Structure 1
C-alpha cells in the first residue's frame, strides 16, 4: 500500500513541477522568479534522485514544456552583474542539474511517449530557433542551457522530417567556429559532444547533407583526424574522436559527399591518425574507432575504386568486410543488438551498400555458407521487433530491418539462391507481408535514409519479383492500338537528360515513361512494379539510359532484368552526351552485343533520328524459340539452330538462358581441370557472363592470368596452377565467344591494341607476381 501512495505522491510532484515551470515562464517579477527557480530546483532534484530513466513520463513533460522558459533563462544568464547575480547562479544550478539528468536517459524512450511524430515535430520547431550564436562563446555561462537544448533538438531531428529551410541559416556556421576553437578543451567537452551529436544526426539525412558540405563540416572533421588545425599531435577524448569518426561515416553513405571526402584525402588522414589513437585510447575504445575507420574505408572505396581493383587482392577491404560481418553476428547475440558500442544497423547499412556490387556479394555469401541463413534469421527477428512501437532503439531497429531487406534483395538477383529463399517459409511470409503493408515507424525513418536504400515495400516486392519463375518466351499483347513502341528505363540522376530525350523522341514514336502517365500513376521512386512491368510487356523496345547510377540502382536492375531475362525484349542502350561510364558487371552482361547510341559522339538531332529508326524498325514483336545446351552437344560448344527474327543477337539471347547446370556442363564438356572449375564455377550464372568474361580475358590476358594464378595458390594452399590447364580454359572461352557472339571479330579488331600476352615465366611471391 505504501508503494502505491509513494507512486501517487511522485506523480503529484511531477505534475506540480510542470505547472510551476509553466507559471515561471510568464513570471514578471524578479522576486517571484528567485523563489520559483529555487522551488523548481528542489523539486527537480527530488524527482530525479533515481535518474530520469526511471521516470520517462516526467522527462517527456519537461521536454514538452522547457522551451517556454528558455527566453527568460536567456535574459537572466546574460545578466551576471551584481544586481542579477543571485538569479544568474540559481539558473545555472538548475540547468546543470537538468543537464546531468539528461545525460543518463535515452531520448528515444522519452519521445516514444508521444506515440506519433506530430508532437515531436512541434518539439523540434519549438527548440531549434531558440539557439543563439552568443550562447557559443569563450565564456561558459550558457553551457548548461546549451546542453539541455542540443540533445532535445538532436533526437527530435532523428524522428521527424527535416529540410534545410527548417534549420537557421547560420547555425552550422557558428557551431563549426565554436567547435574549431574548443574541440580539444576538456572544460567544454560536453558542449562539443552535443554539437557533434547534432551534426552526426544531420549527416544521416540526405536532405541536409548539401548544407553540411557547404558549411565545410567534412573538411573540418577530416582535418581533426590529423590535428591539422591545432599544430599539435594531441588527441581529444575518446568521446570526441568517436563522434568525429561517426560524422565522417554517416557522410560517406551519401554519393555527393564521397567525392568531397576523397578530395580531402580522408583515407590518408585515417591512416595517419591510427597510431595516435591507439596510444591515446584504451584497447576497447580503439577497437570501436578501428571498426568505424573500416566502415569509412569500405564506403569510400566502394564508390571510388572498388570496380577498378580486384577484391581478392585487396586484403584490407576483405579484412574490413569480414570484421563488419563478424561484428554484426556478435551484435545479433546481444539483447539490444549492440556490440562494442555499435548497433547492428551500422554494420548492416554498410553491407547493404557494398552488396550492390556482385563481386563483393558473391564472394562473401558464397564463402560463408551460414551468412545467408544468418541474414534471413536476423530479418525474421527484426520484423518481430519492429511491430513494438514502444521499443527503446526504434530508429536503429527500423534501419536494421530496412538494410536487411535491401541486402536480401541484392542476393535475390542471383538464381543460385532462389531455392534457399523458397525453402524458408517464415522469411517468405514476412517478405510477402512487407510487400503490401509497412509499419508507420519504418515509413517515418525512411525519410532519413540515403538514396542507396530503398523502401521496405519496394525491396520486398523486388525480392518476390526476382523469385518468380521466368518463361523462355513471352506472349506479346494484341492491344496494338495502345501499345507504346518505346519504354524508357532510367535512373533518377539522369532525369534532366531523360526529359530532353522523351520530349524530342515523342515527336517521332510513341514513348512510355513513368512521369508522363495519366494521373501520375507511376513515379520512379514508387513501389508500383506492376505498372512498370505492364509497360515493359506492351513495349516493343526498351530504351535504356546507361550511367553509373543506373548500375548502382537495384530498382533499375529489377526493371532491366525483367525486360531482358523474362520478356526477352530488345534493349537499346543509349549514353548521355557527358557520360564517361562504361557498362560492366550485371549491366554489361545484359547489354553485351546490343547496338548502342552515344549522344556525345554526334549531334542530338542525328542521335534521335537514329534511335527512332531503330525503334520503328523493331515494331513487330520478336518470336523466339530458345534452346539450352543439350546432352548431345559436342565439346566445341556446337548447338542446334535458334530461330529468331533478330539474327544479330540470336546466339547471345540463347546464352542468357543458360542455368548454372548448363554452365557446369560447358566446363565439363570442354574438359576444364577440376580445380579451375572449383575456383571459377560460382562466378558465372549465365552464358552471357562467360562470353563477356572471354572478351575481358582477350583484352587483359596477362592480368587475368596473374589474378587466377594467385587465387589458385591461395585456395589450394600453395599449389601451382598448370599453365596448360589455363590455356585449355582460355581456348574454350575464345571458341565459345566466337560461336555465340557475332560481333567478336569486329570488337577484337577495334581494340586490338589492348591485347596482352601471356607471360612465359612467372614468379609467385607473398606480395606479388612479377614477370621475369
Structure 2
C-alpha cells in the first residue's frame, strides 16, 4: 500500500491566481524573445515570422493589461518592429497574409476589454484613458486599414463576422465624430488635420463599404447621418482629411437603403455646398457627380440638366479611359462604377441617354455609332464573366446588359444593336439557365435588373421573334409552361392583369385580395400565381398581357425606375393597345416614359 505521505509528496503544489498570471506572462515573454531572435532573410521566412507575430500578438492582447503588464510594455514597439522586419507593406499583397492580418485585428478590436477602452475614450471626449491600450489599438487600426484593400472575395462566415461587429463599428464611428472639428471644439477654422488613427478608421469604412453588401450593417451604426455631419464640416479640414468622406458617401449611396438614409439628412444640399467650394481636382469632380446622380430623383436630375451633362461627359470619358487599360481601371476607378451610375441615369431620365450617345463631349470625340460600339465591345469583353467567380466582373456584365437594354427601347438606337448579328447571338446564350449557375450573389440597385431579365428585355425590344427563335426545345418548354401556368383554369370571363414593382408588394397583395372577392366577374393574372417555378420568363408575362382585357399598373417611383415594369407597360399600352388603369402610389407624378 502507498501511504498518504507519499501521495502528498507527488501532488502538485497549490497555485494562486497570481502564480497563473506570472506563469502565463513568462511563457509569453519567452515566445517574444524567440520571435525577436528569428532572422528574416527570404520571402518565405518573412511570411512565417509575420504570421507567428500575429498569433503571439493576439495571445498577449487577449489578456487585459493588468494581467500581463510586462508583456504589454515589451509589446509597445513589437508591431512596428515586425512591420519593418518582414517588409509587411510588400507582404500584405499576398491574400492569405492580408486575410489573417485583417481578421486578427478585427478579433482584437472586438475583445471586451478593448471595446471597454474605446467606450471610456469616447466618454472622455476622445482622450486616451490608457496609453498601453492606445498604442496597441492604433496599431490594430493601421494594420486593419493596410490589409483590407487586398482582401478578395470573403466567405459567408467571414461576412458574418464583419456583420456581427456592429457594436465595434459604432464605437469607432463615434470616436471619429468626437475628433471632428465641431466636437473637438478646435479654434481652427480651416486646415484642421485628423490624426492617423482617425484616417485609418475612415479608410476602413471606405474600403468595407466598397462591398455594398455591408451597407445595411453600417446603417445600424447611424453612419449616413454622421457622414452628412462630417461633410458639413469639410470647410475646416485639410484636403487629405476630407477626401475620404465623399468616397464613403458614394459607397453608401450605391445601396438604395443607404441612399434613402443619406437623403433623410439632406445629403444632396450638403454635398452641393461642398462641391461648389472644395473640389481639389478633376478626379473628385466625378465622385461628386456620381453621388449626386445616385441620390437624385428624376425631377432633380432634370432640374440640374446643365450640371448633369458635365457629369455624363466625365462618366463616359472615364469608361473610355478605363476600357483602354488591361485592368479596366482609370484614376482609381473600376469601369463598373461609371457604368453602374449610367444604368440609373438612363432609367430615370431619357434625355440622359440621348445626350450620352449623341452629344457627350469626350476625347477623342464620340458620336452615337462610336458610343454604342463602345458598349457592345465592353459586352464582349466581359461576356465570359459567368464562367468565373469574379463578382466585380459579373457586376460589370450586368451593368452593360442593363445599358444595352435601355438603348434597345429606342427604335433608332436599337437598330445599331440589331445590325450586329454576333451581339444578338451572344446575348441569346444568356437565356440558357445553364449560363446562370456561376453568378456570385451580390447586391443590385433597384434600377439594375438581373442578367436574365436584361437579356429577355433586349431581345423582346429588338424583335420579339428573336426571343421565340432561341431554340426549338425551349419553345416546347415555353409552350408547356404556358399551358400549365398561364392557361390553367382558362375561362370566358375577362381577365385583369396587375403590373407592379416587387418593392410595392404589400400594396399589390391588398389589391389582389380585394379583386379576388369579385372572381365571379373576372379572372386575375399576376406573376405570383402564373409564374410559379419560372424565373424571369418574359414570354409568359407578354402572354398574360395579350390575354388580359385591362392592365392595372401600380405606378410609383420604384415602378418608374424598373426596366421590367417599363417593358410591361410599353408592351401593353403601345404594342397591344390595352386599356391601362393607373393606380398612383405615394405622391409620385408620372413623367418621362410614364408621362407620355
The residue number in structure 2 matching 1:78 is: 65
Q: Is residue 212 of structure 1 aligned with residue 209 of structure 2? A: no
Give the one of 524, 533, 540 matched to 1:521: 533
Task: Provide the rounded CA distance (Å) in 2 between the counterparts of 1:382 and 1:248.
Answer: 28
The residue number in structure 1 matching 2:353 is: 361
1:260 Cα offset (Å): 4.0
Q: 1:106 to 1:343 in 2, by over 3 A?
A: farther
Q: Secondary structure at the match of 2:296?
A: helix
- Of 358-367 and 157-166, more deviation after overlay is shown by 157-166
Residue pairs, 1:77-476, within 5 angstroms: 78=65, 83-85=70-72, 87-89=74-76, 91-93=78-80, 96=83, 101=88, 105-106=92-93, 132-134=114-116, 136=118, 137=121, 138=128, 139-149=134-144, 159-160=154-155, 162=159, 166-182=163-179, 184-188=193-197, 191-201=200-210, 204-205=212-213, 208-227=214-233, 233-235=236-238, 237=240, 240-274=241-275, 277=278, 286-303=281-298, 305-307=300-302, 309=303, 314-356=305-347, 357-367=349-359, 368-369=367-368, 370-384=370-384, 387=387, 389=389, 394-436=390-432, 443-444=439-440, 446-469=441-464
* Backbone CA RMSD of aligned residues: 4.3
Q: 1:102 to 1:533 in 2, by over 3 A?
A: farther
1:336 Cα offset (Å): 0.9
Q: Secondary structure at the match of 1:336?
A: coil
The residue number in structure 1 matching 2:29 is: 34
Residue pairs, 1:717-732, within 5 angstroms: none
Task: Provide the rounded CA distance (Å) in 2 between the counterparts of 1:419 and 1:527.
Answer: 25
Q: CA offsets, 1:616-672, max 9 Å, x none? A: xxxxxxxxxxxxxxxxxxxxxxxxxxxxxxxxxxxxxxxxxxxxxxxxxxxxxxxxx
Q: CA offsets, 1:93-143, max 9 Å, x none? A: 466459972577457x5599x9xxxx9xx9999899568524645323222
Task: Provide the rounded CA distance (Å) in 2 between the counterparts of 1:156 and 1:128.
Answer: 18
The residue number in structure 2 matching 1:558 is: 567
Give the one of 579, 583, 589 matched to 1:582: 589
Task: Provide the rounded CA distance (Å) in 2 between the counterparts of 1:348 and 1:320.
Answer: 13
Q: 1:247 to 1:234 in 2, by over 3 A?
A: closer
Residue pairs, 1:525-544, within 5 angstroms: 526-544=535-553
Residue pairs, 1:587-598, within 5 angstroms: 587-589=594-596
Q: Secondary structure at the match of 1:458?
A: helix
1:374 Cα offset (Å): 0.7
> Is the Cα–Cα contact under 8 Å of residues 179 and 192 in structure 1 kept in the other structure?
yes
1:443 Cα offset (Å): 2.3
1:149 Cα offset (Å): 4.6
Task: Provide the rounded CA distance (Å) in 1 between the counterparts of 2:30 and 2:421.
Answer: 66
The residue number in structure 2 matching 1:688 is: none
Q: Secondary structure at the match of 2:583?
A: strand
Task: Provide the rounded CA distance (Å) in 2 between the counterparts of 1:451 and 1:340.
Answer: 28
Task: Provide the rounded CA distance (Å) in 1 between the counterparts of 2:239 and 2:325.
Answer: 30
> Is the Cα–Cα contact under 8 Å of residues 470 and 565 in structure 1 kept in the other structure?
no
Task: Provide the rounded CA distance (Å) in 1 between the counterparts of 2:217 and 2:457.
Answer: 33
Q: 1:49 to 1:165 in 2, by over 3 A?
A: closer
The residue number in structure 2 matching 1:499 is: 509
Q: 1:583 to 1:190 in 2, by over 3 A?
A: closer
> Is the Cα–Cα contact under 8 Å of residues 213 and 257 in structure 1 kept in the other structure?
yes
Residue pairs, 1:608-757, within 5 angstroms: none
> Is the Cα–Cα contact under 8 Å of residues 77 and 88 in structure 1 kept in the other structure?
no
1:456 Cα offset (Å): 1.7
Task: Provide the rounded CA distance (Å) in 1 between the counterparts of 2:309 and 2:45.
Answer: 47
Q: 1:234 to 1:127 in 2, by over 3 A?
A: closer
Q: When the two structures are superposed, what TM-score results if normalisation uses the length of structure 1?
A: 0.58
Task: Provide the rounded CA distance (Å) in 2 between the counterparts of 1:374 and 1:263.
Answer: 37
Task: Provide the rounded CA distance (Å) in 2 between the counterparts of 1:568 and 1:586.
Answer: 16
Q: 1:458 to 1:480 in 2, by over 3 A?
A: closer
Q: Secondary structure at the match of 1:486?
A: strand
Q: Secondary structure at the match of 1:488?
A: strand
Q: Secondary structure at the match of 2:439?
A: helix
How many pairs align?
Answer: 516
Q: When the two structures are superposed, what TM-score results if normalisation uses the length of structure 2?
A: 0.73
1:402 Cα offset (Å): 1.8
Q: 1:145 to 1:134 in 2, by over 3 A?
A: farther
Task: Provide the rounded CA distance (Å) in 2 between the counterparts of 1:290 and 1:513.
Answer: 45
Q: CA offsets, 1:507-529, max 9 Å, x none? A: 212222222358x425xxx4232
Q: What are structure 2's unaligned runs of at least 5 residues? A: 1-21, 122-127, 129-133, 181-192, 360-366, 467-481
Q: 1:99 to 1:188 in 2, by over 3 A?
A: farther
Q: CA offsets, 1:450-482, max 9 Å, x none? A: 2222222221222122222479xxxx9996952
The residue number in structure 1 matching 2:479 is: none
1:498 Cα offset (Å): 0.5
Q: Is residue 548 of structure 1 aligned with residue 557 of structure 2? A: yes
Task: Provide the rounded CA distance (Å) in 1 between the counterparts of 2:335 and 2:55.
Answer: 38
> Is the Cα–Cα contact under 8 Å of residues 76 and 88 in structure 1 kept in the other structure?
no
Q: CA offsets, 1:48-102, max 9 Å, x none? A: 49997xxxxx89x95xx99876752423573597533454246534664599725
Task: Provide the rounded CA distance (Å) in 1 between the counterparts of 2:104 and 2:430.
Answer: 31
Task: Provide the rounded CA distance (Å) in 1 between the counterparts of 2:556 and 2:35.
Answer: 62
Q: 1:436 to 1:148 in 2, by over 3 A?
A: farther
Q: What are structure 1's unaligned runs of at least 5 residues? A: 1-26, 53-57, 590-772
Q: 1:94 to 1:386 in 2, by over 3 A?
A: farther
Q: Secondary structure at the match of 1:246?
A: helix
Task: Provide the rounded CA distance (Å) in 2 between the counterparts of 1:377 and 1:569.
Answer: 38
